[in-house]
Amino acid sequence: MSSALERLKNLTNKISSYELARKKNLERLRELFEQVGIDEKVKNVEDLFDFKAINLSGISLQEENLGAIKEGKYLQILAIAYDKNAAVKSKNISLAYFGRVESVDEALRERIVEFVLRYRFEKSFMTLEHYHGMLERF
């Protein structure tokens, strides 16, 4: 009995820690939304989640070399829009263009990487909730 109670307690702690992390993530995402200039193309943060994904060109998002610049490339935040009724189902939309990656201030580059990661973190929660809701049908 105490083992089951202990597992439930651990699970509750983990869930509340995820929810706290998610709340803090959204707060910081809202700040970065303006700091990196996405607000010039997208009216509000919630509209970002209409996109299928957000990618980055010019900087690595791979864990082993996160934030490493790709010499000679242009720094750009790209959103992938998806329309199942269109002839071409998905298209890339530039949300922000910063020029040659080498010439972009390092602090701004870090905020851009953080923005994309924080977007993906929240998007993963939304995906989890979506599939959880679908599974409730069974």
- pLDDT of res. 68: 92
Quote the pTM value: 0.85
**Assigned token pair, 72:** 């000679």
Q: What share of the chain is helix, strand, coil (3-state, %, to 5)?
A: 55, 20, 25
pLDDT band at 31 (very low <50, low <70, confident <90, very high): very high
Query: What is each CA distance from 8 to 1, 3, 19, 83, in whole angstroms?
Result: 11, 9, 16, 42
> By the 8 A CB rule, do 104 and 75 touch?
yes
Q: What is the mean pLDDT of residues 26-53?
A: 95
Give residue limits of the domains in the chain: 3-136
- pLDDT of res. 1: 55
> By the 8 A CB rule, do 95 and 33 touch?
no
